[in-house]
Amino acid sequence: MLESLINMVTQTAEVGSAAGHTPQTAVAALLCAALINFFS
Protein backbone atom coordinates (compact mmCIF):
# COMPACT_ATOMS: atom_id res chain seq x y z
CA MET A 1 0.00 0.00 0.00
CA LEU A 2 2.67 2.49 1.07
CA GLU A 3 5.02 1.55 -1.76
CA SER A 4 2.30 1.95 -4.37
CA LEU A 5 1.40 5.35 -2.91
CA ILE A 6 5.06 6.45 -3.01
CA ASN A 7 5.35 5.26 -6.61
CA MET A 8 2.19 7.12 -7.56
CA VAL A 9 3.48 10.28 -5.86
CA THR A 10 6.80 10.19 -7.68
CA GLN A 11 5.16 9.47 -11.04
CA THR A 12 2.66 12.29 -10.55
CA ALA A 13 5.45 14.67 -9.53
CA GLU A 14 7.44 13.74 -12.65
CA VAL A 15 4.45 14.25 -14.93
CA GLY A 16 3.59 17.53 -13.22
CA SER A 17 7.11 18.90 -13.52
CA ALA A 18 7.34 17.80 -17.15
CA ALA A 19 4.05 19.53 -17.96
CA GLY A 20 5.05 22.67 -16.03
CA HIS A 21 2.11 22.66 -13.65
CA THR A 22 2.07 24.86 -10.59
CA PRO A 23 2.91 23.31 -7.20
CA GLN A 24 -0.72 23.71 -6.13
CA THR A 25 -1.86 21.57 -9.04
CA ALA A 26 0.73 18.93 -8.20
CA VAL A 27 -0.37 18.86 -4.55
CA ALA A 28 -4.01 18.53 -5.59
CA ALA A 29 -3.13 15.64 -7.90
CA LEU A 30 -1.20 13.93 -5.11
CA LEU A 31 -4.10 14.30 -2.69
CA CYS A 32 -6.52 12.90 -5.25
CA ALA A 33 -4.22 9.96 -5.93
CA ALA A 34 -3.89 9.29 -2.20
CA LEU A 35 -7.67 9.36 -1.71
CA ILE A 36 -8.26 7.03 -4.65
CA ASN A 37 -5.58 4.67 -3.35
CA PHE A 38 -7.02 4.83 0.18
CA PHE A 39 -10.56 3.93 -0.85
CA SER A 40 -9.66 1.26 -3.38
Instruction: Report how far residue 2's alpha carbon sits from residue 37's, in angstroms, rounded to the nearest whole number.
Output: 10
| Whole-prediction pTM | 0.44
Domain boundaries, the chain: 2-39
pLDDT tens digits, one per residue of 15-32: 656 666 567 777 888 888
Q: Residues 33, 9: contact at Cβ < 8 Å?
A: yes
C-beta of residue 29 within 8 angstroms of C-beta of residue 16? yes
Give, as one character, the DSSP assignment of residue 4. Answer: H
Chain-wide mean pLDDT for the chain? Answer: 74
- pLDDT tier, 4 (very low <50, low <70, confident <90, very high otherwise): confident
